[in-house]
Amino acid sequence: MSSPFEEMAGLDRLIHEPARLAILTALSAAKKADFLFLQRVTGLTKGNLSTHLTKLEEGALVEIHKEFVGKKPVTWVKLTPSGQTAIDQHWLQLQRLRESAEHWQPSNDEA
Amino acid sequence: MQQYDRIRFVTEYFASLQGLRLLPFWLFSALVNAAVLLQVDSIGIIVFGLLGVVIAFFVVQPLFDRYYRERFGSVESKASRAQVVLGAFLVLCILIDLFIRLPVSMTAMGIAVFTFYLAWGSRGLLPHYAVFGAIMPVTSMLVAGVEADIQINVVMLVVSILSLISGVLDHVALTRLMPSVKEDHYVESI
């Protein structure tokens, strides 16, 4: 049986990276959010946010579309159905890991 | 984990945290209810109230909407089941006050439940709603037994004043929870 720490190493890095986890967590609490909101709520710079969103879009976790409000372009981001499932599962997995880590005792082999 | 809880909370309650949007409405509501209680000329109050609501909704609120959209961005919220249930409960309380005469104001009690829920849901980020929630049952008991019209005016005056204060505190909380980001001179490539 693997220890919680071995399981932790096996977490999906596309989701578990702190900035991307912040983006996905925000998106999981709304139908969709725009680029400026995500930037303000996560504290990421435009460049960092843009890079992480591109990775999440490539992983089919988010959908991005642009529209114009007057003359201003607005970039909307929302979770895909698989992105929603992935982030929900990820938080459940983290919760389970936290609980098992709290009760974890090193075995004789490991000690 | 706390950081992610904060992000989830701000996203979920983003519209509620835009506290300045309803300030003009609550200001006029406070003035009109105070004027009614002080028995100022009633036609004047109606005209003043209507003008106030028109200015609040069609002039001031769009300006605040634009300010929040351009400064903090936009979110399309998910419908919160708890808020729908609490909203329905509040409407029921108002209907009880209108059609069944009870010694205490049910509207005040309903608002107390709603504001306690907000305080609890914010996980300590909006503690002023707990104070708001505690004041409402006291108000409800203080107006127990007085005339129905006066009871409604007193409750609405208290709600308006507390909403004015909460609006400002919500806005302060939003600016604290969503600090501006230092730019990196990067051109958005998406």
Model confidence pLDDT, tens digit, residues B23-36: 988 988 898 888 88
Q: Which of B3, B10, B77 sits opposite A31 (nearest CB)?
A: B77
Amino acid letter, residue A90:
H
- Report the pLDDT value the prediction gives residue A109, as an integer from 0 to 100: 55
Cβ(A25)–Cβ(A72) under 8 Å? no
- Report the pLDDT value the prediction gives residue B183, as an integer from 0 to 100: 65
- Pick the more confident residue, B155 or B185: B155
d(CA B65, CA B73) in angstroms, rounded, equals 10
Q: In the A/B pair of chains, how many CB contacts fall below 8 A? A: 94
Question: Is residue A22 packed enough to be buried (19+ CB in 10 Å), middle (13-18) or exposed (0-12)?
Answer: buried
Return the minimum-mean-pLDDT range out of A35-39, A70-74, B6-10, B170-174: A70-74
Cβ(B118)–Cβ(B16) under 8 Å? yes
Q: Which residues in B lie closer than 8 A to residue A29 (C-beta atoms)? A: 7-8, 11-12, 78
DSSP state of B23: H
- Report the pLDDT value the prediction gives residue A85, as an integer from 0 to 100: 94
Query: What ipTM goes with this model?
Result: 0.84
Checking if the pLDDT of A111 tops 70, the result is no
pLDDT tens figures, B74-123: 999 887 788 788 889 989 988 888 888 777 888 888 899 989 988 988 88
Checking if the pLDDT of B52 tops 60, the result is yes
> Mean pLDDT over residues B4-11, rounded?
92
- Report the pLDDT value the prediction gives residue B149, as an integer from 0 to 100: 80
- A2 CA: distance to closest CA in chain B (Å): 24
What is the separation of C-alpha A95 from the centre of its chain, rounded to a whole number of angstroms? 15
Q: CA-nearest residue of chain A to B70?
A: A36
- Report the pLDDT value the prediction gives residue A1, as an integer from 0 to 100: 53
pLDDT tens figures, A1-53: 566 666 676 778 889 899 999 999 999 999 999 999 999 999 999 999 999 99
Checking if the pLDDT of A106 tops 90, the result is no
Q: Do A40 and B12 touch (CB under 8 A)?
A: no
- Report the pLDDT value the prediction gives residue A9, as an integer from 0 to 100: 67
- Report the pLDDT value the prediction gives residue A107, as an integer from 0 to 100: 66
Q: Which of B8, B184, B190 sits opposite A29 (nearest CB)?
A: B8
B11: confidence class by pLDDT, cuts 50, 70, 90: very high
Q: Which residues in B lie closer than 8 A to residue A54 (C-beta atoms)? A: 189-190
d(CA A36, CA B69) in angstroms, rounded, equals 9
pLDDT tens figures, A46-88: 999 999 999 999 999 999 999 988 888 899 999 999 999 999 9
Cβ(B140)–Cβ(B38) under 8 Å? no
d(CA A76, CA A35) in angstroms, rounded, equals 6
